[in-house]
Amino acid sequence: MSEALKWKDDGNKLLKEQKYNEAIDAYTKAIELDGTNPIFYSNRAQVHIKLENYGSAIADCDAAVKADPLFMKAYYRKGVSLMALLNYKEAQTNFKIVLQKLPNDKLTLENHKQCVNYLKKEAFEKAIAGDEKQLVLYGLDFDGMLIEKLWEGPLLDIKAIKLADKREVSIEIGGLDQAYLKYMIDLFKKGGKLPKKHVFAIVAKVNELLRNENSMVEVSLPHSQLDELILPEDEIILKNGKKLTVVGDTHGQFYDVLNLFQKFGFVSNEHVYLFNGDFVDRGSWSCEVALYLYVLKILYPQSLFMNRGNHETNDMNKTYGFTDECEAKYSKKVFEAFAESFGALPLATLINRSYLVMHGGLFSNDSVTLDDIKKINRFPSSGSSQPPREGLAMELLWTDPQPENGRSPSKRGLGIQFGPDITEKFCVNTKIRKILRSHEVRMGGFENEHNGRLITVFSAPNYCDATGNMGAVVHFTENSQYDKSQDNGEGYKESEEKNCPWSLELETFEAVPHPDMKPMAYSKAVLFPDMSNEANDEPDEWDQRIINTGCYEENLALQLCHADKGDWRKCLGEMEAFRKCWDKNKNNDRTSTVEIERKDREL
């Protein structure tokens, strides 16, 4: 066997073991030795899809097609990646190519149908959209809403007051207090739900609070030595604040959020929290996490802050679970209410005038200032709550750091990647010490990057019940060693200035058990149906075989075969043969004992 093929086999093995980064390295070695084999690129694309690096996946699919224009798997995987990037039009084009060759390929047909449906729906929505969107949150009739009969919890006194000369509505919620919060959490732990009326009121109230915050929120803890006489105009001084904790992605992992507060302290006037986006999607308790944070925001408007993440958007919610979860637990309108409130979330937070926190990262342009971020208009006259697909808001939500200097296209396919030199320049230009961002899993929960100028913090431990990562948070407190007389105000020029007014402490935490429910349990989206971690040496042929036999519907049987050893292919004969294999194996016999003659097929 050639050296390249050996590397490919290594890659397949690593892919199966979910060692994605190592799998990429192995396939890369194979490609370096032999750049003409489309399988190497196509398999590496599959790993990129696993890592949600759709931009890189597309690049590999293109390389595979260049090596062999008839390599159908590459078109399929490119289509899947484009769908993940919500580019349904181009995705459809790629699926069409596959269907010309393999008109009965069920997976491709399914994906193609999804694209058609999406594009139809989009065209329809465009056609019916008026000039001014009717906002759900301003049209709620609380007096006309009934409380669900089975509700035994506390009642709330909800009033909506129309503001003069404005479309806006101010909400008053009597009875929303600590006792309500406690009742709600106990209820959620038992799998219970709030009355829809309460949900609407909570979301509407938080929307109102968020709308009054700037696109870049400026908060500072009080400091015993710093002169507070000249305050920046928009700064919020957290009067009794002693500690500020930044939390990264939580992704609907309600039980880990509960654990996080248990471990690091509850929100109070002394302990302020900033949740840095992506609190919904993926996990199957996104409603619970969102409502928990929202009730905290109402109870402690100056102790709980939130930045928007790329998952607080309609497109992502449709694909990654939150839309369907809302509909399953509450209603479509509840989702729309949440979606509107997401549009009011600030895009960045400046802490202690020295640390800028956003979900994704920095920009495609070096000249961006803090003022530019502050001036981003989150409320366009169209009423749309969705961020544009380009510009500062999109970049704050989507970009990633990279180890190399300069900028490059994003591996995700949206936004860019920026290097340590870009971060350094930004910090010095804007006189800030560090960037804090989330948006990417780090196995240790956090990572110090870009020569200490940038910290990635991610707070969904064992992300999607599969990643095995730690969660982390960052605490800010006053540095008791700080000596103001030694401070010339130039500390921002060094990422690790010793005489810094503030101390940063990183703490990690592990995942806690949760009720038996898979990530995205409510999602109706057929998300990239593929052969999971199977690397597929001759993917077209084998996938077609599975499709022909209908085996793929017997997912359990397939998994059994997969898990057993590489010999699952042996059971992919005709349908009947597979059924026999299934019958024989459903009690956990070894698949490898079943020998089925392989029939050659034409594609």
Secondary-structure breakdown of the chain: helix, strand, coil percentages, each rounded to the nearest 5? 45, 10, 45
Residue 158 beta carbon to Mn ion: minimum distance, rounded to whole angstroms: 33
| DSSP summary character for residue 551 | G
- Distances from the Cα of 175 to the Cαs of 67, 158, 186, 510, in angstroms? 66, 9, 17, 35
Which is closer to Mn ion, CB of 320 or CB of 502?
A: 320
Which is closer to Mn ion, CB of 310 or CB of 423?
A: 310
Return the range that interacts with Mn ion (CB under 5 A); candidates 236-244, 271-279, 337-345, 574-582.
271-279
Q: Decide if 311 is catalytic.
A: yes
Which is closer to Mn ion, CB of 198 or CB of 439?
A: 439
Classify strands 216-220 and 236-237 as parallel, antiparallel or unpaired: parallel
For position 412 contacting Mn ion by CB under 5 A, the verdict is: no
Cβ-defined contacts of 366-369 (< 8 Å, 24+): 366/422, 366/425, 366/426, 366/429, 368/392, 368/426, 369/429, 369/430
Which is closer to Mn ion, CB of 156 or CB of 457?
A: 457
Return the range that interacts with Mn ion (CB under 5 A); candidates 97-105, 280-288, 435-443, 469-477.
435-443
Angle between helices 20-33 and 3-16 in degrees, nearest 10:
160
Which is closer to Mn ion, CB of 400 or CB of 534?
A: 400
d(C-alpha 424, C-alpha 201), whole Å: 43
- Residue with the CB atom nearest Mn ion in the bound state: 439
Which is closer to Mn ion, CB of 65 or CB of 246?
A: 246
For position 53 contacting Mn ion by CB under 5 A, the verdict is: no
> Which listed residue (329, 439, 453, 569) binds Mn ion by CB under 5 A?
439
Residue 257 beta carbon to Mn ion: minimum distance, rounded to whole angstroms: 16
Kindly identify the residues of this chain, within the stretch 546-585, that bind Mn ion according to CB under 5 A.
none
Kindly identify the residues of this chain, within the stretch 484-523, that bind Mn ion according to CB under 5 A.
none
For position 399 contacting Mn ion by CB under 5 A, the verdict is: no
Residue 376 beta carbon to Mn ion: minimum distance, rounded to whole angstroms: 18
Q: Please pick, among 198, 311, 359, 439, the residue that the annotation labels catalytic.
A: 311
Q: Which amino acid is at 366?
A: D
For position 423 contacting Mn ion by CB under 5 A, the verdict is: no
Residues 6+ apart with CB under 8 A from 295: 176, 180, 181, 184, 202
| DSSP summary character for residue 256 | H
Residue 279 beta carbon to Mn ion: minimum distance, rounded to whole angstroms: 10
Classify strands 271-275 and 304-306 as parallel, antiparallel or unpaired: parallel
Residue 299 beta carbon to Mn ion: minimum distance, rounded to whole angstroms: 27
Dihedral of CA 290/296/302/304: which sign?
A: negative
Return the range that interacts with Mn ion (CB under 5 A); candidates 4-12, 220-228, 437-445, 533-541.
437-445
- Tokens for 84? 């993940």
d(C-alpha 326, C-alpha 317), whole Å: 10
For position 308 contacting Mn ion by CB under 5 A, the verdict is: no
Residues 6+ apart with CB under 8 A from 438: 248, 249, 276, 277, 278, 309, 359, 456, 457, 458, 459
* Host H or E run for residue 319: helix 314-320
Residue 365 beta carbon to Mn ion: minimum distance, rounded to whole angstroms: 21
CB atoms within 10 A of CB 146: 9
- Tokens for 194? 């709030």
**Total residues at the site for Mn ion (CB under 5 A)?**
4
Which is closer to Mn ion, CB of 108 or CB of 317?
A: 317
- Tokens for 529? 């149906």
Would you put residue 44 in left (φ > 0), alpha (ψ -120 to 50) or beta?
A: alpha
> Which listed residue (53, 108, 307, 310) binds Mn ion by CB under 5 A?
310
Q: Phi and psi for 159 in degrees, rounded to 5?
A: -130, 135
Kindly identify the residues of this chain, within the stretch 122-141, that bind Mn ion according to CB under 5 A.
none
For position 410 contacting Mn ion by CB under 5 A, the verdict is: no
Residue 85 beta carbon to Mn ion: minimum distance, rounded to whole angstroms: 14
> Which listed residue (278, 324, 530, 554) binds Mn ion by CB under 5 A?
278
Residue 463 beta carbon to Mn ion: minimum distance, rounded to whole angstroms: 11
Which is closer to Mn ion, CB of 393 or CB of 546?
A: 393
Residues carrying an active site annotation:
311
Catalog residues that contact Mn ion under the rule CB under 5 A.
Answer: 278, 309-310, 439
